[in-house]
Structures are given as structure tokens and as C-alpha cells.
Structure 1
Amino acid sequence: MLETPQHPDVKVQLSGEDGNVYSVIGRIQRALRQAGRGEAATEFVAAARSAGSYDEVIQLAMRTVDVS
């Protein structure tokens, strides 16, 4: 069962886009900031930087925003 992301109204498309981890982090950071969630963007980037793998960053992204 998938859990609802913390910010379900913030939608970010990852499929078909550059899969580089820095690109993914930047895309989510921008989407959160554009939605007026600057603090959440800062928290996401900090958590992503401390992640141990690419998969952890993707899982974090899916827990944070609506990823497609």
C-alpha cells in the first residue's frame, strides 16, 4: 500500500526526465518552492543529501510529493 505524500498537491514528473540524482533533487526542490513550501524544500534537500543511495532519494521524493 502506498502512503500519501506529505505534499500531495505538489506534482513532479520524474518519468521520461533526466534521472540524474541532482536533477531529481533540483526538480523536487523547485516544485516545493513554487508551491510556497520553501522550508519543506530545504528539508527535502538536506534529507536527500544524506541519503545513502539513489533509491533512497527516489523513495524520499515519493514520500514528499506526488511523483509521476
Structure 2
Amino acid sequence: MSEKKYKPECKLIGEDGKIFNLLSIASVTLKQNGMEEESKEMYNHVYASGSYEEALMIIGDYVSIC
């Protein structure tokens, strides 16, 4: 049985869709939930991504987008 990772809710729908804005909002959400290391990890993965869509998927791996 795989362990499900906790993903805090993050309001991204309706926000400015620029990836750096969305990344910043998601990062703040993670930090507010005591997930500083996950925030750094997410940033690194997003910066290494090859497209906007891939970056959004990575953000969605760390937060529950609402």
C-alpha cells in the first residue's frame, strides 16, 4: 500500500496565471503548513521543467489546487 502525501489546499484558480506567480502562491502555502523543504524541492523541480504544463503538474504534486 502506497503512502499518500499530504497536500495542503492552495487557491490558484482565478489567480494571475503566470507560472512564477502560481509558484510563489504555492510556495507560501507550503511554508504556512510547515513544509519548507517541500517548497524548496518544488521550486527546483519547476525551474528544471520544460514547459508551462509540466510546471503546473509539478505544482499540483505538492499542493491541492482549488
TM-score range, shorter chain: 0.7 to 0.9
What TM-score, normalized by structure 1, do the two folds share?
0.84
Q: Write the distance in 2 (CA, Å) between the matches of 1:33 and 1:44.
A: 12
Which residue of the partner structure matches residue 6 of structure 2?
Answer: 7
Q: Write the distance in 2 (CA, Å) between the matches of 1:33 and 1:41.
A: 7
State the one-letter code of the partner of 1:6. K
Which residue of the partner structure matches residue 41 of structure 1?
Answer: 39
State the Cα RMSD in Å.
1.3
- Superposed displacement of residue 7, structure 1: 2.8
Which residue of the partner structure matches residue 67 of structure 1?
Answer: 65
Q: Write the distance in 2 (CA, Å) between the matches of 1:52 and 1:28.
A: 19
Q: Which runs of 5+ in 2 are unaligned?
A: none
Whichever structure has more strand as a proportion of its residues is: 1
Question: Identity of counterpart residues, as a percentage?
Answer: 24
State the one-letter code of the partner of 1:40. E
Q: Write the distance in 1 (CA, Å) between the matches of 2:39 and 2:58.
A: 12
Higher relative contact order (CA 8 A, sep 6+): 1
Q: Write the distance in 2 (CA, Å) between the matches of 1:59 and 1:40.
A: 15
Deviations 1:1-32 (A, max 9, x none): xxxx7332x11111110100100110111110
